[in-house]
A and B are shown apart, each in its own frame.
Chain A
Amino acid sequence: MATRDPLDFDVGVEEDEDGAPSPSSPLSYFERDRHVAFFGMLYDLMPYHYQSQEINRLTLAFFTISGLHLLKALDRVDKDRVASWVLSFRAHPINQAELKNGQFYGFHGSRMSQFPPDENGVSVCNAGHLASTYCALAILKTVGFNILTIDKESILISMRNLQQPDGSFMPVHLGAETDLRFVYCAAAICFMLEDWSGMDREKTKDYILNCQSYDGGFGLMPGLESHGGGTYCAVASLRLMGYIEDDLLSKNATSSIINVPLLLDWCMQRQAIDGGFQGRANKSSDTCYAFWVGAVLRILGGYKFIDKIALRGFLLTCQSEFGGFSKYPRELPDLYHSYYGCTAFSLLEEPGLNPLCAELGMTDLAALGIL
């Protein structure tokens, strides 16, 4: 039951050595209580299957906490304790000069990569990471912590160290792949901190536009195949940055910077005959794309066009009797697909769920800072 980066698409489900997935028939309604139990259990303790995800601990925490918030079950969470815990992952510069040393003074994803400063107060092995920082801020907002009170300058100034000449972002100064996932994280961080000094917005925009494919969707990098996750990162980032208006289609406005009709047509075609959404043309439907592509449609104002009944039907086949959701029908649930299954049901306006902020991937309440 392993998961990966929050934006690591195409993940498979690890199964136990002896386990074939349980072929139970789909439950016919959204089983809120089972999902609450699922997220609650993992919030308290995660089985060893997730040990390979230790480096993304904050992401795992985000999924459980935000998942509980979506399910209106945040009372299970000790908010102050969570806030302290998250804040303890912060990478702190000793002085202003350190902010230009190339490192990123955001949040670590795990204690694994975080070491206490030595006797002289010198921080060792800083590995502040964009995705962890996004998750950290999202969790803090979810538990009602005012993130504008933290030292945001060092986050924003040092974030610039991660931006590449082509406008993309590296997630961590140690060196890693650069693609739209981290552009999104950077944009979401700036948006949440209400301060765009963390990036060169024009360059970022140019990189995003270079990722739009000939078929209207966006690949994760320029030249790559259009992909549900890449498309979400592109469109949500542009929206957060203010380059595209909210609900474009309803206002009959056309965006001059991206080909909206082509994008819309591509998104619409992602709903497959089984009712689910696929991440790329001619691939299988997968629970999480009901969020990645669904959220793009919501942002554009085109969510009303999808066949909600068919989508709901598909998602219910991915709902597990153990709580949570799996990637494909009738498989074992994992935390990542469980979270995005719930966000998908929120987009469907399932009763009993909190509304979703499509651009930030968390509840509206959290996005607005309302507890």
Chain B
Amino acid sequence: MESSEEDGGVPLSRMAEWRDVTPLRQDDGPNPVVPITYKEEFRETMDYFRAIYKADERSPRALRLTRRAIHLNPGNYTVWHFRRLVLEALNTDLDEELDFIQRIANSNSKNYQLWHHRRWVIERLGSNARSKELHLIKSILSLDAKNYHAWSHRQWVLQALGGWEDELDYCRQLLEQDIFNNSAWNQRYFVVTRSPFLGGLPAMRASEVRYSVEAIVVNPNNECPWRYLRGLYKDDIESLVNDREILSICLKPSQELRDAVVALWTSDTRPLDADLATAICDILEHVDSLRASYWIWRKNKLRIAA
């Protein structure tokens, strides 16, 4: 049973338990580049780790040592790998391991090795671990709703173990909290297109269009629902382009744009699509001046195509 407290920084060389082990110094060689001034605790811990690792000692004290080493360098994939070997050899309770990872995650929620290790544990626990895992990811996302690692892990859990039923609703909740959360919009797309319970994009498109258009009207300066709307018509852009109803709803928020479009629609000559697009590029060149060069280029491309 691993102790839940750290060893309190007591040097390993002063512990009776480690008396029989000769620490293995890191051999940096004669002319190391970017030498690091390790703190003594770090150097010592890693010297003992090297000794245990080389000897391939898969014991309870080795497990404790990996924990100490992980606290000092949680990005060290060699330590995590060895910890897995020891966990397997000792047939350790993996639910306890999840608790351990969670404690480390509090200060290392953006660490790749930690999440990979978590995945390894969950793979062994199987679908029994599913709802607890989805719940844990939610709690991490509640602290940072855009944590890329958490979202990656969540998508993996859903695909490997299921749990899709509540996911669309979870996306809705997150978007209610922050309609600008692009991670939540992305997850929504993920669920809509991949959930085995929803029938895929064709079945979901109408309701998703309504959802995204609503979001556009409320916050037309939010990039997310615009791209999401377009994404709903991924392989069928013609349908979006020809849907006057959607387009007129989307035009509502911008007086300037609406005036330009109306001017073209009510002009004597039947407006070519290219004229409308050109007018839009002109407007954007001024209202989105950060990207003026881009809009000018887009406009010129239209002229070439016409």
Q: Which residues of A contact B (CB under 8 A)?
A: 4-5, 8-12, 42-48, 50-57, 60-61, 64-65, 78, 81-82, 84-86, 88, 111-113, 115-116, 124-125, 127, 129, 172, 174-177, 213-216, 219-221, 223-227, 252, 266, 268-269, 271, 273, 275, 280-283, 302, 304-307, 310
Nearest-CB residue, chain A, relative to B293: A305
Nearest-CB residue, chain B, relative to A80: B31
- The docked-state distance in angstroms from the alpha carbon of A63 to that of B120 is 32
What does the 1/0 interface line of B270-306 toward A look like (CB < 8 Å)? 0000000000000000000111111001000000100
Hey, which chain B residues are within 8 Å of A302, CB to CB?
A: 294
Contact B54 A52 (CB under 8 A): no
- Which of B70-78, B134-142, B260-268 sits within the interface? B70-78
- The docked-state distance in angstroms from the alpha carbon of A57 to that of B46 is 15
Hey, which chain B residues are within 8 Å of A129, CB to CB?
A: 77
* CB proximity of A293 to chain B, nearest CB, Å: 13
Hey, which chain B residues are within 8 Å of A304, CB to CB?
A: 293
Cross-chain contact of A56 among B75, B146, B227, B232 (Cβ < 8 A): B75
What does the 1/0 interface line of B31-72 toward A look like (CB < 8 Å)? 111111111001000100010011000000000000000001
* CB proximity of A232 to chain B, nearest CB, Å: 15
Nearest-CB residue, chain B, relative to A222: B155
- The docked-state distance in angstroms from the alpha carbon of A55 to that of B42 is 13
Contact B155 A223 (CB under 8 A): yes
**B131 on the interface (CB 8 Å rule)?**
no
* CB proximity of B106 to chain A, nearest CB, Å: 14
Nearest-CB residue, chain B, relative to A264: B294
* CB proximity of A263 to chain B, nearest CB, Å: 12
Contact B38 A214 (CB under 8 A): no
**B113 on the interface (CB 8 Å rule)?**
yes
Contact A51 B36 (CB under 8 A): yes
Hey, which chain A residues are within 8 Å of B234, CB to CB?
A: 214
Nearest-CB residue, chain A, relative to B304: A252
**B122 on the interface (CB 8 Å rule)?**
no
Count of interface residues, chain B, beta-carbon cutoff 8 Å: 66
Contact A307 B290 (CB under 8 A): yes
* CB proximity of B195 to chain A, nearest CB, Å: 12
Given A85-B31, A281-B182, A269:B223 Cβ within 8 A: yes
Cross-chain contact of A112 among B76, B230, B304 (Cβ < 8 A): B76
**B130 on the interface (CB 8 Å rule)?**
no
Given A45-B35, A60-B34, A214-B228, A224:B151 Cβ within 8 A: yes
- The docked-state distance in angstroms from the alpha carbon of A228 to that of B151 is 16
**B216 on the interface (CB 8 Å rule)?**
no
Given A48-B38, A61-B33, A125-B54, A54:B73 Cβ within 8 A: yes
* CB proximity of B40 to chain A, nearest CB, Å: 10
Cross-chain contact of B227 among A124, A215, A305 (Cβ < 8 A): A215
* CB proximity of A93 to chain B, nearest CB, Å: 19
**B164 on the interface (CB 8 Å rule)?**
no
Cross-chain contact of B35 among A46, A52, A124, A175 (Cβ < 8 A): A46
- The docked-state distance in angstroms from the alpha carbon of A302 to that of B298 is 12
Contact B36 A46 (CB under 8 A): yes
Contact A283 B77 (CB under 8 A): no
Hey, which chain A residues are within 8 Å of B291, CB to CB?
A: 268-269, 271, 305-307
Interface of A is mostly: loop
- The docked-state distance in angstroms from the alpha carbon of A113 to that of B50 is 8
Contact A175 B290 (CB under 8 A): no
Given A174-B81, A220-B152, A280-B182, A52:B231 Cβ within 8 A: no
Cross-chain contact of B29 among A4, A60, A111, A115 (Cβ < 8 A): A111
What does the 1/0 interface line of B131-171 toward A look like (CB < 8 Å)? 00000000000000010100110010000000000000000
Hey, which chain A residues are within 8 Å of B42, CB to CB?
A: 48, 51
**Residue among B42, B182, B294 with the highest chain A CB neighbour number at 10 A:** B294
Hey, which chain B residues are within 8 Å of A10, CB to CB?
A: 110, 148
Cross-chain contact of B182 among A11, A56, A78, A283 (Cβ < 8 A): A283
* CB proximity of B110 to chain A, nearest CB, Å: 6
Contact B186 A224 (CB under 8 A): yes
What does the 1/0 interface line of B222-247 toward A look like (CB < 8 Å)? 11100110111010000000000000
Contact B75 A52 (CB under 8 A): yes
Hey, which chain A residues are within 8 Å of B151, CB to CB?
A: 224-225
Contact A176 B227 (CB under 8 A): no
Contact B194 A223 (CB under 8 A): yes
- The docked-state distance in angstroms from the alpha carbon of A216 to that of B146 is 19
- The docked-state distance in angstroms from the alpha carbon of A302 to that of B146 is 28
Nearest-CB residue, chain A, relative to B32: A85
Contact A5 B54 (CB under 8 A): no
Contact B27 A116 (CB under 8 A): yes
- The docked-state distance in angstroms from the alpha carbon of A137 to that of B166 is 47
Contact A50 B189 (CB under 8 A): no
Contact A281 B36 (CB under 8 A): no
Contact B146 A280 (CB under 8 A): yes
Given A45-B37, A46-B36, A224-B155, A214:B77 Cβ within 8 A: no
**Residue among A55, A61, A252 with the highest chain B CB neighbour number at 10 A:** A55
Hey, which chain B residues are within 8 Å of A12, CB to CB?
A: 110
- The docked-state distance in angstroms from the alpha carbon of A269 to that of B152 is 24
